[in-house]
Chains A and B, each alone.
Chain A
């Protein structure tokens, strides 16, 4: 009824292999893109940008990055916060060293630098798996935060130890600093998210994605059919870290503007992104969006409902959020390990035949 694929025939492998094979899905995707690019920028104000849209867009990039590594390649990582910090500090150093270069280039380069760092910390993954790899990436998390705190070169010897994003523009429009208009920052992040999502989808439906999933599902069999495990794992670390680096750079330069590394990119950030991936759905690009939207919206909704409408004390609402997230993680791990994305898939299957179930 709401969702049909009858009469939607494929006559070539390209058609069968496209991102949205079902026509209905494809139209919906174009509509979402049109609204995101053509309508929201005219409506957005500072509150919506800073409370909801920017964190959602940026966390979605990070979640896609982590999903590639953990969901597609099966390598658990707790170093997301540390890698985001690498992106942020790389972007900061580039912004201050080359003020005349476009921010697009800086953010992409920051992603590239993070990819290199990610590959370095991914090297142990050839030898260690599962929990032990998680601990190794945890070491990366703490080491990187320590490094950015201790070596003054990274924060340009500023007295506070913080990094502050200087004002930069793209095509004459200011996008960093307090004077940046909400729609410009929104669009800038949206462009990166769209690019990242398309790239992630292309990679995961092709050869590289199959190699990653083969490693995830059974690494011994993967090697027998000709996958070089070291290469496959390291490309996963590189691509994943690239996305996470981009998100870290945007988080610092566009969203926060000033960053104290231990506070912003600490272990809690790693867990937050990991929760997004788990709740959203491991091994699904859509799940990364869903998870990011869910965990960004949850505190906002709780605040509006709990504090503003019901008049509860704010500290209770804040703690309630922790309780709900914790409970949800357990519920999802037990009941639906594939997360919101799987619920969405099941809903689509049902809707396809609604209201006639047989």
Chain B
């Protein structure tokens, strides 16, 4: 294990900082089914960390553990140098972890702008009375947070659909709005669950560009799950490979690509 204070430099010369999140010996069971078995890895500040693996490997379960959706049966989650106690998902969100979902989880009845503004909720603290009167703190806060939300909307190039109800949008744009909502929270750690699932090549390129830009511009630490190997190998700094709930590889894309266990898991291996 690397020391929390030291980092490394990527091939393209970006400086990666200390450990933001560390998973220590995580095991997750559902009854008799072991979804994740004794997995440890870390996520460092400013890096793009991918989790890959064949179907049913436990990637999404892992993301759900990080975002507090599942409580691990064994093991510890360390965030910013301290052990995370058992907490509800909304408390995890308040710690600065935002995520998107594999099958879009937007608020369909609300406009794009309102969806993005929900991402700012953890930063808005005015009381009920102030909001009921729409005076003082509530209004100032609304405007201040609107500015941040608008910045994200500009960044992801969705200005033209700002006032459109989400239900009317096509799939690719919905994915982008969901990313906007997660980004609006200005997260310390951004979790992306298959951000490119179901997209065509062009949309994938757009999304990849946005992910790189987010990392570059805001310095956001990103952990993502993705099936498209080309995308993963291009985007990520380090990759965790899972298979049947176990970790079978961890390292830079090149290391992982040449790892025999990983090749076996993806291509299959002859059983005798």
By a beta-carbon cutoff of 8 Å, the part of chain A in contact with chain B is: 12-14, 17, 199, 202-203, 206-208, 210-211, 213-214, 216-218, 220-229, 235, 239, 283
Contacts and interface: CB of A to CB of B under 8 A. Distances in A.
Interface string B86-105: 00111001100011010001
Contact of A202 (B88, B107, B131): B131
Interface stretch (B32-40, B139-147, B249-257): B139-147
A206 B142 contact: yes
Interface in B163-183: 181-182
B181 A225 contact: yes
Given A202-B133, A220-B105, A210 B121 contact: yes
Contact of B131 (A12, A203, A220): A203
Given A207-B126, A216-B109, A225 B131 contact: no
A62 B93 CA distance: 35
23 contacts: A13-B150, A17-B142, A202-B138, A206-B131, A206-B138, A207-B126, A207-B142, A210-B117, A210-B118, A211-B118, A213-B109, A213-B114, A214-B118, A214-B121, A216-B107, A217-B109, A224-B89, A225-B119, A225-B181, A226-B90, A229-B90, A239-B128, A283-B109
Contacts of A227: 90, 118, 121
A202 B181 CA distance: 22
B90 A228 contact: yes
A217 B118 CA distance: 12
A196 B131 CA distance: 13
Interface of B: 67, 69, 88-90, 93-94, 98-99, 101, 105-110, 114, 117-119, 121-122, 124, 126, 128, 131-134, 138-139, 141-143, 146-147, 150, 181-182, 185
B202 to A, nearest CB: 27
B131 A207 contact: yes
Given A214-B107, A226-B185, A202 B132 contact: yes
Nearest to B145: A207
Nearest to B108: A217
B143 A221 contact: no
Contacts of A210: 110, 114, 117-118, 121
A58 B109 CA distance: 28
Contacts of A218: 105-108
Nearest to B67: A224
Contacts of A216: 107, 109
A61 to B, nearest CB: 15
A184 B182 CA distance: 52
Contact of B122 (A12, A199, A206, A226): A226
Given A202-B138, A216-B107, A217-B110, 15 more contacts: A202-B133, A202-B134, A203-B128, A203-B132, A208-B128, A211-B118, A217-B107, A221-B105, A222-B107, A224-B69, A224-B99, A225-B93, A225-B185, A226-B122, A228-B88
A224 B93 contact: yes
A217 B124 CA distance: 20
A206 B143 CA distance: 10
Contacts of B126: 207
B131 A17 contact: no
Contacts of A14: 139, 143
Contacts of B89: 223-224
A29 to B, nearest CB: 15
A221 B174 CA distance: 14
A222 B90 CA distance: 8
Contacts of A202: 131-134, 138
Given A208-B131, A226-B93, A228-B90, A13 B143 contact: yes
A283 B108 CA distance: 13
B146 A13 contact: yes
A218 B147 CA distance: 25
Contacts of A17: 142-143, 146
A223 B131 contact: no
B121 to A, nearest CB: 5
A198 to B, nearest CB: 8
B142 A13 contact: yes
A206 B134 contact: yes
B142 A199 contact: no
A161 to B, nearest CB: 37
Contacts of A226: 90, 93-94, 121-122, 185
- Of residues B106, B119, B131, B150, which shows the largest number of chain A Cβ atoms within 10 Å of its Cβ? B131
Given A13-B146, A13-B147, A199 B132 contact: yes
Contacts of A211: 118, 121
A301 to B, nearest CB: 33
B126 to A, nearest CB: 7
Contact of A207 (B93, B98, B124): B124
B60 to A, nearest CB: 13
A288 to B, nearest CB: 17
B106 A221 contact: yes
B163 to A, nearest CB: 9
A14 B108 CA distance: 25
Contacts of B134: 202, 206
A314 B108 CA distance: 46
A312 B87 CA distance: 66
Nearest to A218: B105
Contacts of B110: 210, 213-214, 217
A221 B109 contact: no
B224 to A, nearest CB: 16
A216 B139 CA distance: 24
Nearest to A74: B109
A214 B89 CA distance: 15
Nearest to A195: B132
